[in-house]
Amino acid sequence: YESLANGYYTNQPLLQNCANVLNVWFDDLDFSYKDKDGHTHTGLQPEQAKEIVEFIRANKNKQLAIVHCAAGVSRSGSVAQFIADMWHIPYDKFTRMNPSISVKAHFTQTLNEALNKIT
């Protein structure tokens, strides 16, 4: 590991963007704010949502999608649910395969808005 950015190592193989890997960094927030130390914390932005939607479309012929976030709950859950909806995976099958995730309405709304602007 050569460098640490935002508390995460940045040169791990899966952290490098390529045709079938996309890294999008955002906080588990509905709105942005600055903390007492002056650091800005930002939720999913429209440009990031567009990037995610375009990536999903570019990889629509794949049979597997792996979505990961630092906590593995609402950010990854929201994107995974969005992928399942785009790929027409039945909701009951998706929830059986992913029982511990939750979906955040703000992330879903931002992703759907990006999809609607692209289509």
Q: Report which of 59, 119, 67 is spatially closest to residue 97, judged by C-alpha positions.
A: 67
Which range (32-41, 90-99, 101-110) has the least confidence? Answer: 90-99
**Rounded Cα–Cα distance for residues 118 and 51 (Å):** 11
Q: What is the pLDDT of residues 81-103, one digit of tens each?
A: 898 898 888 888 888 888 888 88
User: How large is the average pLDDT for residues 38-51?
Assistant: 92
Q: What share of the chain is helix, strand, coil (3-state, %, to 5)?
A: 40, 10, 50
Q: What is the pLDDT of residues 67-79, one digit of tens each?
A: 877 766 688 889 9
**Rounded Cα–Cα distance for residues 20 and 33 (Å):** 32
The SS3 of residue 95 is helix
pLDDT number for residue 28: 87
Q: Report which of 116, 119, 115 is spatially closest to residue 53, judged by C-alpha positions.
A: 115
Q: Report which of 82, 84, 83 is spatially closest to residue 108, judged by C-alpha positions.
A: 82
Given the DSSP bridges, would you call strands 33-34 and 40-41 parallel, antiparallel or unpaired? antiparallel
Confidence of residue 5 (pLDDT cuts 50, 70, 90): very low
User: How large is the average pLDDT for residues 42-49?
Assistant: 93
